[in-house]
Amino acid sequence: MIRSSQSAANHQDKVVIGKIGAPHGIKGELRVTPLTDFPERFAELEQVYAGNDLLTIESVKYHKQFVILKFKEYPVREQAASLTGRFLYVDKEDAVPLEEGEYYTFDIIGLEVFDTEGNSLGHVTDVLRTGSNDVYVTSKKGEAKQLLIPALKTVVQEINVPEGKMVVDMPEEA
């Protein structure tokens, strides 16, 4: 199973957990769209990165699909508004631990995919969340053709993140 949390190219030791939206109210609070399967984690955080800036979380509330955050460094609405559009990160080692057989999206994207005979099918470029199961979008460099691989145990035989590879047994096309 894949867990959402994206890693940004220029923040390779960090994990994206949210995106800052518009200010909320007049006291410097900001609406944050959670980009994690674990939005409850915000209540436990003391600090978070907005870009390269380390911010101290002063308060956390939940409102509809948003997390409402107030940062100590941005005490008023006008100052806080300058953060709108920035992504929030935590250090990779602070990512929520996963169960056996679960992977973060950032661990899957970039893996080289092989069939059971060892032929390269390309690299995972995206993970689609369909509801019933994830789908790995795979393509070869320089080719427009994409291969969609259902993230099912009957198809995905092996995921080896340290070696950067995935082995799949694709069903025969009719």
CATH numeric code, 103-168: 2.30.30.240
Going from N- to C-terminal start, the domains of the chain cover 2-93, 103-168
pLDDT greater than 80 at residue 82? yes
pLDDT at 4: 44
Please compute the mean of the pLDDT values over residues 144-151 and round it to a whole number: 92
Residue 108, helix vs strand vs coil: helix
If pLDDT is split at 50, 70 and 90, which confidence band does 142 have?
A: confident
Q: Please name every residue paired with 94 in a beta bridge, in sequence order, or none if there are none.
A: none
Which amino acid appears at position 93 of this protein? E
pTM: predicted TM-score of the whole model, two decimal places: 0.65
Beta strands 165-168; 112-115: pairing state = parallel
pLDDT at 2: 45
Start-to-end CA span in the chain (Å): 27
Residues 46, 60: Cα–Cα separation, whole Å: 10
Domains 2-93 and 103-168 share a fold: no
- Over residues 86-119, the pLDDT tens digits come to 999 998 888 778 888 888 887 888 999 999 999 9
pLDDT at 12: 63
pLDDT at 3: 44
Q: Which CATH superfamily is domain 2-93 in?
A: RimM (2.40.30.60)
Residues 20, 43: Cα–Cα separation, whole Å: 16
- Over residues 32-57, the pLDDT tens digits come to 999 887 889 899 999 999 988 999 99
